[in-house]
Amino acid sequence: MRLRAALLNALLLLSALACATPTDADSTRTASTRTADPQTQGAPAREASPADLEPFFKEFPNGAFVLYDLKRDRYLRYNEARCRERFSPFSTFKIPNSLIGLDTGVIPDAEFVIKWDEKKYPAHDRDTLPFSAWWQDQTLRTAFKRSAVWYYRELALKVGEKRMREYVRNLHYGNEDASGPVNNFWLNSSLKISADEQVDFLKRLYREELPVSKRSLAILKDIVKLEETPDYKLSGKTGGGPLAENRYLGWFVGYVETKDNTYFFATEIEGTTYLSIRDERIALTKRVLAGLGYIRG
C-alpha cells in the first residue's frame, strides 16, 4: 500500500508541475480565418490557412492548435488529425471543476476559502514556483490563478462522486468519463479531451449554453481572466503533465475578446521535459494570435 501511495503521489507531482492555466461539418470550415504579416501585428490582411500556422510550430511539429472565429463561424487548425486526439485535460479541468463547485453550491463564490491541511497535503518545493504559493489557505480565485492542485482535489471530494459524474456527463466534457478516483480522474486517469472538444466546451461556456446557472458562469468568467489591454481581453487556463517517459503534454486553452469579435483557442504541445513546454504553451499561443493579427505581440 505504501508503494502504491508513493507512486500515485509521484504521478500527481509530475502532473502538478505543468499546471502552474467538432463535428464533420466543423471540419469543412477549417480552412481559413484572418492573418497578418508578423512584422505588422495587429493589422489582419488576408485569410489564413493551416499552412500559415506551420512556421509557428517548427519546435513542436507534433502539437495541435484550434482557433474558432465566432463572428465568421470559421475554424483554423494546425495538425487537424491531432486536434481530434484525446489526452488528459490535466489542470485545464479546473475550468469545469470550478463551475461544478459553484453550481452545486459547494462553494458560494470566488472568495470561498478551503483551509490547507498540512498533514493531508504535505508541503514540498517551498522555494520553487508554483509550489511556493500553494502551501496556505486558498480561495477559489487564488487556487485557480496558482493552479493549486490540493484545493481542487478537496473541491471534487466535497462535490462527491455521484454529482461530479453527472455534471461531467451533462456538460458533455470530452469523453465524459469521470470513473476514475473523484479527486484524481482528470490527472492522467479516465477523463480525456481533444483540442477540438476544448474549443467546443469553451464556446458553449462563453455563449451560456451549458446547463448551469448564469451566476455560476459569471463568476467563472471572472476568474479565468488573464490579461486585459485597450485592444483585447485574454482568458484561459494552462494544464499539462507526463504522458510517458520523456513525453510531456502542455495545454493552453481559452478565448480572446476584441472590440468586434471573440476567438476561441486550444493549444496542445508535446516536449521531452516539463521545462520544454512550461512557458512555451502560452508564449506560442500569443505568437500565433499576434501573427494572425488578433493581439499585439
Just list the catalytic residues: 91
Is 66:75 a contact under the CB 8 Å cutoff?
yes
Query: Cell triple for residue 211?
Result: 446547463
- Cα separation values, 133 from 20, 91, 101, 145, Å: 10, 16, 22, 10
Residue 95 in 3-state DSSP? helix
d(CA 43, CA 121): 49
Q: How many CA atoms lie within 13 A of 233 on its CB side?
A: 11
Residue 30 in 3-state DSSP? coil
d(CA 161, CA 172): 17
